[in-house]
Structure formats: structure tokens, C-alpha cells
Amino acid sequence: MTNKTKLIIVFIALSVVLGYFSFNYIMYGGARDIQKEESAYNVSSKAIIEEFSKNTNAATKKYIDKSIEIKGVITSVNDSLVSIDESVICKMKEISKSSSTVGKSVSVKGRIIGFDDLMEEIKLDECVIN
């Protein structure tokens, strides 16, 4: 083999290895296990909605992308979405019929991903019912 061929093979091999590790970092590098994390805040659904309604920017800086525990009453269940007090929308990791009954008082742990100021709803993902 010539030096040029060896150099091309090494370059291709390095590109494949770099591509593999880059893909894994992008796809799985930011994955968190919210269930095992300690909650940054423990609040009621009414209190956090009031806080977001008064000052959206300050509340967003305080809560966004943090693990939080919210207490309230389940008002609706739809596929993997659970609504608490009609103002907190939780995308559940897993949903069980026994723990997600409408009218049941619960504590949900999840990560706040945003606030919809038009609908006045807080959005959470990776939620679990404690």
C-alpha cells in the first residue's frame, strides 16, 4: 500500500469513530433521570401558576429545566399526559391506571420545560407520580 492509501484509510476510520461518539453524545449525553434527582422545589400547582402569571421571566429563570415536585389534584388523563388542577400538563414517563385517577390528590415530580402564557399552563416532562 502506498502512503496516500494508508492516510485515506486512517482518515476514514477516525471519521467513523468520531461520528459514532458525536452521535452518542448528542442523542444520549443530556439524558437525566429526574426520578433519582433531588427536587429543587416543592410547590403546589396554584402557587407556581400564580408565580408564572405575575412575572413570567423571573419564574422561568427560577424553574426552567429544574427537577420540581408539584402537588395538586388530577383533572384529566389523556394517553401519557396528566393534567393537574387544569394548569399543569405533565408528560409521564410511565402511566398506571391506579395512580392516575381523576380527582386524586397527587405529588408529581418532573422537569419544567416551559410556560404557555396564552393557556396559562406549565409544561413538564419526564414526570412520575410520587
Between CA 61 and CA 63 the distance in angstroms is 6
For the chain, which residues make up each domain, given as ranges?
Answer: 1-31, 41-129
- Using 50, 70 and 90 to split pLDDT, how confident is the model at 29? low
CATH of domain 41-129: 2.40.50.140
Tens-place pLDDT, residues 73-115: 999 998 889 999 999 999 998 877 767 789 999 999 999 999 9
Q: What is the pLDDT of residue 93?
A: 84
This prediction's pTM: 0.72
What is the chain written as a DSSP string?
--HHHHHHHHHHHHHHHHHHHHHHHHHHTT---TTTSPPSEEEEHHHHHHHHHH-HHHHHHHHTT-EEEEEEEEEEEETTEEEETTTEEEEESS--TTT--TT-EEEEEEEEEEEETTTTEEEEEEEEE-
Between CA 112 and CA 11 the distance in angstroms is 43
Q: Does residue 1 carry a pLDDT above 80?
A: no
